Amino acid sequence: MFMRHLATSFVALAVASPAMADFWSDAGAAYQGVTIRGVSESTPPSNYVRDVLAPKFTEATGIQVEFETTSWDQMYDKAIKDMEAGSGIYDFVYIEQDAIYSYLSRDFLVDMTKMMAENPALVNPEFSFDNFTSFIDYFKNADGDVFGVPMEAFIKVYLYRKDLFENPEIKASFQEKYGYELAPAKTFQQWHDIAEFFTQYGLDNGEELYGTTVQAASGHPASWYEFWESIAPLYGVYNWGINQDTWTASVEHGGRMNSPEAVEALTFWLDLIKYAPPEATASTWDEVASSFAAGRAAQGLVYGENATWIATNAEKSSVVGNVGVALPPTAEGVMEEAQAGNGYIGYYDGGAFGIPHSSKNKEAALLFMEYIAQPEVQADWAEAGGRIVLNSTYDDPKVQEIDAKTDHYFTLMKDSGDLFAGAPPYPFHNQVREATAPFIYEAIIGNLTPQEALDKMAETTETELKNLGYTAN
């Protein structure tokens, strides 16, 4: 009798448990056949969502996902137009960390904290915003409510070629020429020397090898970003040199955009171009990664989303197994400022998915946000996109295995991530960037000196902020 009961219970449990235990099919039942649409930049993490996670979500819930990954410019163009017009084309949009302040200022996004509180049936019992790394803080408003579920986060690190840096002959030659041991650069002089050395090494040996990468596109904001988010902070110029109390940029008015440190930083960075691959002045973040992966540069700053595939994917990279990772060099005192929380040494980049108010399928989109935030899907995603957004992902055995192959990039990110920072909280991010970027372009091609470029940038920034109403006319 007992055995019969046991068997009956077992069968009943077996039949019932998929429906009870599978939150996704239960929660998705009401939205069967619904199609949610999203847009993002075509990056390794987003492409993984499109190719792997979206189809799995459809399988689990019956909700279709049309996820468009496009160029960075087009992504912004499409998302902002849709949200501004309220046309409801997209049910979820990519929010790059630096765009969140603009989006919040325009009230484009749904408050996800409130939405979850109001719709408990839509909340996966295992989901919690507390699972995320501190990167989620960038997507909160002043009350601590979350407006975007982080889907990628990475730091822009200094990559170098271990095979070159550890080659005894090369080391000896470098030592002989510069009088100190070849190692990842700790100072700007070392960065310069290494760049010069390997460019000459490439010429002497008939190799397409150059000293450093430089993200110096002369017609694309990528160069502006590399300078203001990665190089200027290394010289102690933070937040684009804008004084956030007075909304001024020039030294004359209390800013640091054209300060001696900024001029020194720009001079150093522009000088590196002559040691960079010839494509450097046409390179955005993608091309920099491709140049490094093609073995065309000995060192350089590369976005972490590319670090893992460069180090591990032999189909796309010719330097697999030879990639070293380190923190970038800093000027005197900058590291101490970063450690004290008063500065930073580079860009903590990343983004989240948010739901526009104009979305017509908010509930289904919310389920998708939760689905991609599951700990189970994070490890493979980290391998594909070099990104980590949950604390638990660092301890995943698969991630630790990748970490070892990438010269401990993830460990570096975990231990030193707090030395990096996202973009400053400027709602006018795009406006000031677009107004000032042409001066960086002109400096790259030599039409302006660093001092002239920065003076013009500071002046233009102040004019722009005045036009936008941040300072009195």
Partner 1 sequence: MRSSTTGWLLLLPTIVILVFTGVMPFIYVLLTSFFDWNLFAVNPEPQWAAANNFRRLVHDAEFLKSIWLTLKFTLYVLVSQVAIGFALARLMMRDFPFKKFFRAVHTLPLMIAPIAVGATWRLMTVPGLGPIPYYLKNWFGIDYRLSMFPDQAFASVVLMDIWHWTPFVTLTLLAGLSNLPQEPVEQARIDGANEVQIFWDIILPAMKPVLLTTIFIRIMDALRVVDEVWMLTQGGPGAETRFIGLHIWKIVFPKTDYGYGSAMSLLTLYLTIVICWLLYVAMTARKERPL
Q: Does 269 bind partner 1 (CB under 8 A)?
A: no
Site for partner 1 in 399-418 (CB under 8 A): none
Residues in Cβ contact with 350 at an 8 Å cutoff, skipping those fewer than 6 apart: 96, 97, 135, 138, 150, 151, 152, 153, 154, 387, 389, 422
**Is residue 434 close enough to count as binding partner 1 by CB under 8 A?**
yes
- Is 441 near partner 1 (CB under 8 A)? yes
* Distance of closest approach, residue 272 Cβ to partner 1, in angstroms: 14
Binding-residue total with partner 1 (CB under 8 A): 39
Through-space distance between the first and last CA atoms of the chain, rounded to whole angstroms: 89
Burial environment of residue 270 by CB neighbours within 10 A (0 to 12, 13 to 18, 19 or more): buried
Asked if 30 touches partner 1 (CB under 8 A), the answer is no
Q: Are strands 35-41 and 64-70 parallel, antiparallel or unpaired?
A: parallel
Is 195:213 a contact under the CB 8 Å cutoff? no
φ, ψ for residue 40, nearest 5 deg: -155, 170
Q: Which helix (H) or strand (E) holds 156?
A: strand 149-161
The least distance separating partner 1 from the CB of residue 366, rounded to whole angstroms, comes to: 26
Least distance to partner 1, CB of residue 430, Å: 5
- Chain center to CA of 361: 27
Q: How far is the CB of 310 from partner 1 (least distance, A)?
A: 16
- Contact 230/246 with Cβ under 8 angstroms? no
Question: Would you call 190 helix, strand, or coil by DSSP?
Answer: helix
Interface characters, 60-89, with partner 1 (x: CB under 8 A):
-------------x--xx--xx--x-----
435 interacts with partner 1 by CB under 8 A: yes
Q: How far is the CB of 116 from partner 1 (least distance, A)?
A: 28
Contact between 395 and partner 1 by CB under 8 A: the answer reads no
Classify residue 127 by burial, with Cβ atoms within 10 Å: 0-12, 13-18, 19+: middle
Q: Say if CB 447 and CB 281 are below 8 A apart.
A: no
- Which range binds partner 1 by CB under 8 A, 18-26, 87-95, 324-332, 432-440? 432-440
Q: In this structure, what token pair is assigned to residue 413?
A: 């990110």
Output 72 or 235, the one with its CB closest to partner 1. 72
List the x/- string, 284-323, binding to partner 1 by CB under 8 A. Answer: -------x--x-x---------------------------
Per CB under 8 A, residues contacting partner 1 are 73, 76-77, 80-81, 84, 102, 105-106, 208, 217-220, 277-279, 281-282, 291, 294, 296, 427-428, 430-431, 433-435, 438, 441-442, 444-445, 447, 467-470
